[in-house]
């Protein structure tokens, strides 16, 4: 149990000045990204078995791949653009699709996985052909329980075509992303961050978060944002290298056609974006980082910014981007 905010955060009176990322460079707050990552890992759960959920998962993969390709193609160079628009999460989609298209159950060898892949995309999947082996009891049971073999095959083909389309689009998005990040290597501002000063009138309503003593601000319409500066974050420089390494690992996984390996890379890529987003938030929510940025801005002691809560950054994100951006983020887990 913490005491009241007045006792716990002694001398805390809101002075009207805080630090926030600019609208062009603000990444999605990590609490939102973590929730969306969990949802995507459920929707793209790596399983080789067919069920009624498989078609929904395939359509989710199609939407995710198409939106990611659109974000890569429409991206314009600017601060934090690599973290914001590059599809670090797409290995989730690629791995999930490969697992279903190869019926990967951990028992097939390298050649057998490729043979199964080509059979499936050519419409000769063991799931609905007559050559069902003893190891495919779950397939035989599904097939015999279905009264209409033709409709059974149609559902499978819709899923297979959808997953093949999603796989091709996802690979295009990742490869085009590699080209774009190396185009942005010089000038280097594509991994820079941009932090601004935000001032509020005296009558703005605030509350204090315990135990961080950060201010919770709900009404960002009253904020005046100005005096933005760019600087290179402590870990920002390695984003291009990490994204390139991620793509190289995906290509290796594609060659050996290991879906579970690629799917795991998607979790790693998404986690990197969440870490970067969390580090960006420290320039608003951590006292030492706020003091560091204030020195870069050469602010006098009388204009010392105060720390924000993570809830305030979530409120700011919703104020700036709203429901549409959240819907896009739901499928792409971008930064």
pLDDT, one tens digit per residue, over 286-311 is: 888 888 888 888 888 778 888 888 89
Q: Which has the minimum average pLDDT: 170-179, 196-205, 274-283, 311-320? A: 274-283
- pTM assigned to the model: 0.83
Q: Assess contact for 61 and 166: CB atoms under 8 A.
A: yes
Confidence of residue 16 (pLDDT cuts 50, 70, 90): confident
Q: Assess contact for 316 and 20: CB atoms under 8 A.
A: yes
The pLDDT, as a whole number, for residue 187 is: 56
Q: How far is Cα 271 from Cα 286, in angstroms, rounded to an integer?
A: 21
Confidence of residue 93 (pLDDT cuts 50, 70, 90): very high
Token readout for 90 is 């797409």
How many domains is the chain partitioned into structurally? 1
Rounded mean pLDDT, 23-52: 84
Domain that holds residue 215: 5-332
Q: Is the pLDDT score of 89 beyond 70?
A: yes
Other Cβ atoms less than 10 A from the Cβ of 126: the count is 16
The pLDDT, as a whole number, for residue 129 is: 64
Rounded mean pLDDT, 87-113: 87
- List, in order, residues 6 or more apart from 324 with CB less than 8 Å away: none
Candidate ranges 43-57, 169-183, 233-247; pick with highest mean pLDDT: 169-183
Rounded mean pLDDT, 20-49: 86
């Amino acid at each position: 149990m913490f005491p009241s905010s007045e006792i716990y955060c002694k001398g805390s009176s809101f002075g009207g000045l805080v630090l926030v990322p600019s609208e062009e460079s603000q990444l999605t707050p990590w609490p939102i990204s973590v929730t969306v990552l969990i949802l995507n890992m459920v929707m793209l759960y790596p399983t080789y078995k067919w069920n009624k959920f498989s078609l929904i998962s395939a359509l989710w993969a199609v939407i995710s791949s198409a939106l990611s390709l659109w974000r890569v193609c429409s991206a314009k160079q600017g601060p934090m653009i690599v973290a914001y628009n590059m599809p670090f999460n797409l290995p989730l989609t690629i791995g999930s699709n490969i697992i279903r298209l190869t019926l990967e159950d951990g028992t097939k060898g390298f050649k057998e996985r490729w043979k199964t892949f080509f059979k499936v995309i050519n419409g000769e999947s063991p799931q609905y052909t007559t050559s069902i082996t003893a190891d495919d009891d779950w397939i035989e049971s599904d097939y015999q329980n279905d009264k209409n073999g033709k409709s059974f095959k149609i559902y499978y083909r819709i899923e297979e075509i959808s997953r093949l389309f999603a796989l091709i689009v996802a690979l295009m998005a990742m490869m085009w992303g590699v080209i774009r990040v190396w185009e942005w290597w010089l000038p280097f501002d594509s991994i820079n961050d941009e932090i601004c000063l935000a001032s509020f009138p005296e009558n703005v309503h605030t509350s204090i978060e315990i135990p961080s003593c950060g201010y919770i601000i709900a009404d960002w319409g009253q904020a005046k944002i100005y005096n933005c500066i760019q600087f290179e974050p402590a870990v920002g420089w390695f984003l291009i290298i990490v994204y390139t390494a991620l793509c190289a690992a995906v290509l290796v996984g594609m060659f050996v056609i290991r879906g579970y390996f690629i799917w795991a890379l998607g979790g790693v890529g998404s986690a990197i974006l969440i870490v970067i987003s969390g580090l960006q938030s420290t320039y608003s929510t951590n006292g030492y980082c706020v003091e560091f940025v204030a020195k870069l801005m050469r602010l006098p002691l009388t204009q010392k910014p105060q720390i924000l809560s993570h809830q305030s950054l979530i409120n700011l994100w919703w104020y700036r981007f709203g429901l549409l951006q959240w819907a896009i983020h739901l499928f792409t887990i971008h930064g």
